[in-house]
């Protein structure tokens, strides 16, 4: 068979998505089926065990590294060639879907199984990886496993990170779930190339009726944790003029960054977004002016200069509010990654392959963070996007229809084949 005609088995891939989606399953009132598989929890262990079992079933040589990244390798015909790596993540946010990350990993397994089924050898090995803690929902920064994999953070520092929810140490949780592996991290050698299939997680492809996104890069990410400290006081007796209210300041920061995003939205080609995703009052009681508030601010832009401008406006807003309300505001950076551009030849390959397979395709940047942005530091990298129904993600209603999943996996297969056969 001409390998250019190879296609994945969409039903087999869908069955694996369904099976992994049962691990940490969350059910919504309207039949939604999502996932709660925060990094290094028992649910994450269960999901990892399932995927590692599939890797063994497929005859892959499986390694687990010191930060818990798992790589399964199918040998190539050239013993000295570096692998073409297909990867993503299987951790989810607490209210996540079944596709975010999981699709990229399971499509990788599907590519390997398709090659094996048809007896197709490749010059380069083809490897499938899932990286630890891509979401950054429990341990910050996000993309932590792939960041360590490429040498962007020392493994000792990563193991010492504390969980945002229960304060657990990452290294202890990794050992507890049995995924503190023996393979050194960072990886000894860079892959030949890296390709990641992912759902878009936004509305663009669906709105335009386009099936494949050839991803050009990932926007910059800036995460800050604020601890605002004022004075706890009686809600009934304390006159407004005497209040030092961190709850008020938190609200003003949230509305302030919304205004910032709205105003900056039209500058350049970067579209500024801004989010307060976590906000905890202490003591969190109806009749007490809070003593303190801990909150997070997520700022993103495809343009680094504009992202810096947003950060400066945000910092000035905090300083002004601290002065006016007589509170203190401590700022701690949780994550900061500059925008990343993918390899032009790899982007072109995704685009031309999608066209050859008869799919509509457009180039687009990614709004979400991805392991691919870390791998892009060490090897030619690209991503394939498929549409997200109603543009929804980080939501249990996240959905991508089976035909789009198969289309994306076929593009992934054909891109990987071309690169792994040494032809691109």
Question: Cβ(229)–Cβ(318) under 8 Å?
Answer: no
Q: What, of Mn ion, ligand GLV, none, does residue 21 touch, CB below 5 to 8 Å by kind?
A: none
Question: Cβ(363)–Cβ(176) under 8 Å?
Answer: no
Question: Cβ(284)–Cβ(199) under 8 Å?
Answer: no
Instruction: CB nearer to ligand GLV: give 142 or 200.
Output: 142
Beta bridge partners of 218: 340, 366
**Token pair of 319 as six digits:** 């300083």
Instruction: CB nearer to ligand GLV: give 238 or 275.
Output: 275
Instruction: CB nearer to Mn ion: give 101 or 230.
Output: 101
User: By rule CB under 5 A, what count of residues binds Mn ion?
Assistant: 2
Instruction: CB nearer to Mn ion: give 100 or 298.
Output: 100
Instruction: CB nearer to ligand GLV: give 243 or 300.
Output: 300
Q: What, of Mn ion, ligand GLV, none, does residue 43 touch, CB below 5 to 8 Å by kind?
A: none
**Token pair of 164 as six digits:** 């945002």
Place of tokens 């996996």: 409
Q: What, of ligand GLV, Mn ion, none, does residue 295 touch, CB below 5 to 8 Å by kind?
A: none
Place of tokens 């089926």: 33
- Binding-site string for Mn ion from residue 72 to residue 101, where x marks contact by CB under 5 A and - marks none: ----------------------------xx
Instruction: CB nearer to ligand GLV: give 99 or 194.
Output: 99
Q: What are phi and psi of 194, to 5 degrees?
A: -130, 135
For residue 321, count other CB atoms closer than 10 A to its CB. Answer: 19
CB of 246 to ligand GLV, least distance (A): 26
CB of 142 to ligand GLV, least distance (A): 5
Q: How far is 89 from 214, CA to CA, in rounded Å?
A: 20
Question: Cβ(301)–Cβ(270) under 8 Å?
Answer: yes
Instruction: CB nearer to Mn ion: give 83 or 101.
Output: 101
Residue 33 CA to chain centroid, in angstroms? 20
CB of 151 to ligand GLV, least distance (A): 21
CB of 196 to Mn ion, least distance (A): 9
Q: How far is 196 from 137, CA to CA, in rounded Å?
A: 21
Instruction: CB nearer to ligand GLV: give 8 or 93.
Output: 93
For residue 31, count other CB atoms closer than 10 A to its CB. Answer: 7
Q: What, of Mn ion, ligand GLV, none, does residue 142 touch, CB below 5 to 8 Å by kind?
A: ligand GLV
CB of 92 to ligand GLV, least distance (A): 9
CB of 358 to Mn ion, least distance (A): 27
Q: What, of Mn ion, ligand GLV, none, does residue 369 touch, CB below 5 to 8 Å by kind?
A: ligand GLV
Instruction: CB nearer to ligand GLV: give 44 or 135.
Output: 135
Bridge pairing between strands 328-337 and 220-229: antiparallel
Instruction: Please report, as residue ranges, which positions from 99 to 128 form the binding site for Mn ion (by CB under 5 A).
Output: 100-101
Q: What is the DSSP string of 355-423?
A: HHTT--EEEEEESS--HHHHHTTTS-EEEEEE--GGG--SSTT----HHHHHHHHHHHHHHHHHHHTT-
- Which positions lie near ligand GLV, rule CB under 6 A? 135, 142, 368-369
> Which of 65-89 are b and which e, b meaning 16 or more Cβ less than 10 Å from the residue's Cβ?
bbbbbbbbbbbbeeeebbbbbbbbb
CB of 136 to ligand GLV, least distance (A): 6
CB of 100 to Mn ion, least distance (A): 4
For residue 255, count other CB atoms closer than 10 A to its CB. Answer: 11
CB of 247 to ligand GLV, least distance (A): 26
Instruction: CB nearer to ligand GLV: give 41 or 292.
Output: 41
CB of 135 to ligand GLV, least distance (A): 5
Q: What, of Mn ion, ligand GLV, none, does residue 113 touch, CB below 5 to 8 Å by kind?
A: none
Q: Which of 27, 22, 74, 59 is nearest to 43 (CA)?
A: 22
Q: Spell out the residues 6+ positions from residue 193 whose beta carbon is closer than 8 angstroms to its own.
A: 84, 85, 346, 379, 380, 381, 419
Q: Is 142 in the site for Mn ion (CB under 5 A)?
A: no
Return residues touching Mn ion (CB under 5 A): 100-101
């Amino acid at each position: 068979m001409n390998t250019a005609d190879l296609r994945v088995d969409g039903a087999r891939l869908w069955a694996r998505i369904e099976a992994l989606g049962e691990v940490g399953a969350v059910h919504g009132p309207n039949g939604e089926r999502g996932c709660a598989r925060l990094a290094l929890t028992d649910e994450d262990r269960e999901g990892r065990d399932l995927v590692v079992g599939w890797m063994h079933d497929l005859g892959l040589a499986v390694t687990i590294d010191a930060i818990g990244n798992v790589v399964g390798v199918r040998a190539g015909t050239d013993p000295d060639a570096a692998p073409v790596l297909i990867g993503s993540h299987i951790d989810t946010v607490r209210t996540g879907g079944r596709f975010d990350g999981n699709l990229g990993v399971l499509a990788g397994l599907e590519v390997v199984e398709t090659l094996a089924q048809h007896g197709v050898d490749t010059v380069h090995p083809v490897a499938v990886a899932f990286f630890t803690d891509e979401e950054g929902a429990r341990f910050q920064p996000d993309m932590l496993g792939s960041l360590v994999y490429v040498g962007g953070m020392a493994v000792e520092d990563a193991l010492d990170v504390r969980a945002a929810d229960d304060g657990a140490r990452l290294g202890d949780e990794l050992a507890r779930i049995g995924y503190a592996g023996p393979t050194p991290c960072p990886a000894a050698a860079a892959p030949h190339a890296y390709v990641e299939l992912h759902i878009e997680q936004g509305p663009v492809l669906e709105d335009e009726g386009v099936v494949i996104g050839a991803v050009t890069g990932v926007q910059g990410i800036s995460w800050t944790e604020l601890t605002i400290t004022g004075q706890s006081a009686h809600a009934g007796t304390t006159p407004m003029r005497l209040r030092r209210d961190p709850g008020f300041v938190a609200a003003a920061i949230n509305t302030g960054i919304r205004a910032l995003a709205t105003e900056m939205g039209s500058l350049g080609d970067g579209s500024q977004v801004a989010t307060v995703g976590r906000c905890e009052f202490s003591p969190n009681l109806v009749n007490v002016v809070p003593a303190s508030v801990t909150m997070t601010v997520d700022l993103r832009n495809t343009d680094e200069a504009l992202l810096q401008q947003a950060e400066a406006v945000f910092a000035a807003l905090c300083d002004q509010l601290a002065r006016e309300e007589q509170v203190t505001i401590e700022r701690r950076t949780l994550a900061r990654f500059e925008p990343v551009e993918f390899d032009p030849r790899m982007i072109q390959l995704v685009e031309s392959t999608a066209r050859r397979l008869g799919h509509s395709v457009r180039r687009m940047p990614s709004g979400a963070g991805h392991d691919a942005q870390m791998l892009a530091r060490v090897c030619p990298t690209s991503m394939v996007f498929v549409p997200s129904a109603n543009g929804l993600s980080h939501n249990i209603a996240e959905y991508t229809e089976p035909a789009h999943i198969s289309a994306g996996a076929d593009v992934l297969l054909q891109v990987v084949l071309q690169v792994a056969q040494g032809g691109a």
